[in-house]
């Protein structure tokens, strides 16, 4: 039986919307692929890639090349500790600083494309997964398809999301797995599949904690979803148990204690006195990343009567748990991208804002107004985010971080194997790309510097220094004798000490 004209028109509109959505999604994922920096560059990037390299090799530690005698009291082992790694002075071995979750993602990516390109593959998949899970979350809480797609667009266009998706960083992975844990528990919280949903949530929660241990805060919103049903908590706990066992085993192998980490004691970095300034920074940053009107819309969430009280509480508790912790963290302010710490709570903020917008505009009598106003607001939001991303250099990671790779390649090509390289900011990259002995010049006392100079002269080992930006005037402080600039790559300069 042929379809009525109205039905054919409706089917055609649906096909056009689906086709256009798929094209936009494909274009966005290609954008992430094109602009993602795969380089072991700064402390975080080199730390994650060095960690992944250890995992692929089935090892726990890197051996530290001997430069001077370990018995000489003038030499501190920490002088040979590159960024992103932590040294054990007793064994003279290096262990990764950062959690194991994201490096495990890189290991999986390396099985398909090799470790040097694993970041690109992993980040593209994570960006796609973030979109799919955001769409699912939007539909679960009651957003219409168009509003749920708008939520995805706002997340994808966020300068913070773009910036974190285009480099070897764990923040998007932390958000995606936390989002997966909530979606699984929420999607199947009622009915016969509730236990299955709890188990899937437990698996996702375990991975989220492996990526970032502070994702344990997700227990706050998950508790509202799992409720007081022991069977659900049992399924959740048993499904997540392998992840907990692996984390404990890994920590013990690397740091000697199942509860230890590469960060050491971080209590000095937390203080309640930091909260007022940090909360103001979070508010400004959220307005920057999501647009002021989206950020302000979230404030209307507690008054949405058509959404159940439990659901509203969940959407508030979810981001609030992360905001409360990181408001007291000393590294939460200073740069706009430090809001990455609360990125796991962003899905709730965005979906909550969309719920408020959908409810407010649903009261409009004019169909045109219900369509035109949301489109104008979405266009204004994406424009705001695009301008903010451009002004804050959210897409420069690949171009900017390439200099670490190029500088390390120069060291490999133009210095002998026995060379010693003084470095700080680039030390992690050098540890990944080269096999040269690396010394942190910022960790050297005058006595240690003199010992290093004497040892290098006696053994015929040339000394080089790699400075980064403002390090240019300090990297060679305390060293007598002329330094000659040998090469430069952007803000990185390479120097050779003339005997």
Please state the pTM of the whole predicted model.
0.93
Count the neighbouring beta carbons within 10 Å of the beta carbon of residue 225. Answer: 24
What pLDDT, on a 0 to 100 scale, did the predictor assign at position 309? 77
What pLDDT, on a 0 to 100 scale, did the predictor assign at position 250? 94
Q: Would you say 324 and 274 are in contact if contact means Cβ atoms under 8 Å apart?
A: no
Nearest CA to 396 among 60, 196, 166?
A: 166
What pLDDT, on a 0 to 100 scale, did the predictor assign at position 40? 96
As a whole number of angstroms, the distance between CA 115 and CA 121 comes to 10
What pLDDT, on a 0 to 100 scale, did the predictor assign at position 157? 96
What pLDDT, on a 0 to 100 scale, did the predictor assign at position 472? 64
Q: How far is CA 97 from CA 49, 50, 87, 170, 468, in A?
A: 11, 10, 9, 13, 22
As a whole number of angstroms, the distance between CA 451 and CA 237 comes to 54
State pLDDT tens for residues 455-473.
988 999 999 999 998 886 5
Q: Is 15 exposed, middle or buried (0-12, 13-18, 19+ CB in 10 A)?
A: exposed
State pLDDT tens for residues 142-171.
999 989 999 999 999 999 999 999 999 999
Q: How far is CA 188 from CA 140, 183, 209, 234, 283, in A?
A: 10, 8, 22, 15, 33
Q: Is 6 exposed, middle or buried (0-12, 13-18, 19+ CB in 10 A)?
A: exposed
What pLDDT, on a 0 to 100 scale, did the predictor assign at position 339? 93
What pLDDT, on a 0 to 100 scale, did the predictor assign at position 424? 94
What pLDDT, on a 0 to 100 scale, did the predictor assign at position 495? 92
As a whole number of angstroms, the distance between CA 283 and CA 329 comes to 16
- Token pair belonging to 420: 């010693």
Low-confidence ranges of the chain (pLDDT < 50): none
What pLDDT, on a 0 to 100 scale, did the predictor assign at position 262? 87
What pLDDT, on a 0 to 100 scale, did the predictor assign at position 298? 86
As a whole number of angstroms, the distance between CA 492 and CA 61 comes to 28
């Amino acid at each position: 039986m042929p379809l009525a004209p109205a039905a054919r028109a409706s089917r055609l509109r649906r096909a056009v919307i689906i086709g256009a959505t798929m094209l936009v999604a494909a274009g966005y994922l290609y954008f992430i692929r094109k602009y993602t920096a795969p380089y072991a560059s700064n402390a975080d990037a080199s730390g994650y890639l060095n960690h992944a390299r250890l995992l692929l090799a089935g090892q726990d530690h890197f051996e530290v090349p001997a430069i001077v005698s370990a018995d000489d009291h003038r030499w501190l082992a920490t002088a040979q500790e590159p960024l992103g790694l932590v040294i054990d002075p007793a064994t003279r071995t290096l262990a990764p600083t950062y959690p194991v979750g994201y490096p495990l993602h890189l290991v999986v990516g390396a099985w398909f494309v090799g470790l040097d390109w694993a970041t690109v593959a992993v980040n593209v998949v994570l960006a796609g997964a973030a979109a799919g899970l955001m769409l699912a979350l939007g539909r679960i809480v009651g957003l219409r398809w168009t509003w749920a797609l708008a939520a995805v667009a706002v997340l994808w266009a966020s300068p913070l999301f773009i910036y974190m998706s285009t480099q070897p960083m764990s923040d998007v992975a932390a958000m995606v797995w936390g989002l997966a844990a909530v979606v699984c528990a929420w999607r199947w919280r009622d009915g016969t599949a509730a236990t299955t949903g709890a188990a899937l949530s437990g698996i996702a929660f375990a991975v989220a904690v492996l990526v970032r241990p502070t994702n344990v805060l997700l227990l706050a919103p998950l508790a509202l979803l799992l409720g007081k049903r022991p069977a659900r908590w049992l399924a959740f706990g048993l499904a997540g148990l392998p992840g907990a066992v692996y984390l404990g085993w890994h920590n013990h192998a690397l740091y000697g204690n199942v509860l230890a980490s590469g960060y050491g004691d971080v209590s000095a970095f937390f203080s309640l006195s930091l909260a007022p300034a940090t909360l103001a920074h979070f508010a400004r940053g959220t307005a920057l990343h999501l647009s002021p009107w989206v950020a302000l819309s979230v404030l209307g969430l507690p008054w949405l009567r058509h959404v159940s009280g439990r659901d509203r509480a969940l959407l508030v508790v979810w981001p609030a748990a992360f905001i409360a912790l990181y408001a007291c963290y000393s590294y939460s302010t200073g740069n706009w991208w430090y809001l990455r710490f609360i990125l796991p709570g962003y899905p709730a903020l965005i979906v909550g804002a969309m719920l408020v917008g959908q409810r407010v505009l649903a009261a409009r009598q004019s169909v045109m107004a219900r369509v035109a106003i949301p489109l104008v607001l979405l266009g204004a939001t994406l424009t705001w985010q695009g301008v903010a991303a451009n002004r804050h250099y959210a897409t420069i990671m690949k171009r900017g971080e390439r200099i670490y790779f190029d500088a390390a390649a120069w060291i490999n090509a133009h210095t002998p194997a026995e060379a010693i390289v003084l470095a700080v900011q680039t030390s992690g990259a050098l540890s990944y790309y080269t096999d040269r002995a690396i010394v942190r010049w910022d960790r050297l006392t005058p006595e240690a510097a003199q010992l290093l100079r004497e040892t290098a002269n006696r053994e015929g080992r040339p000394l080089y220094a790699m400075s980064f930006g403002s390090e240019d005037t300090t990297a060679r402080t305390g060293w007598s004798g002329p330094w000659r600039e040998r090469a430069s790559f952007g803000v990185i300069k390479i120097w050779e000490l003339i005997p």
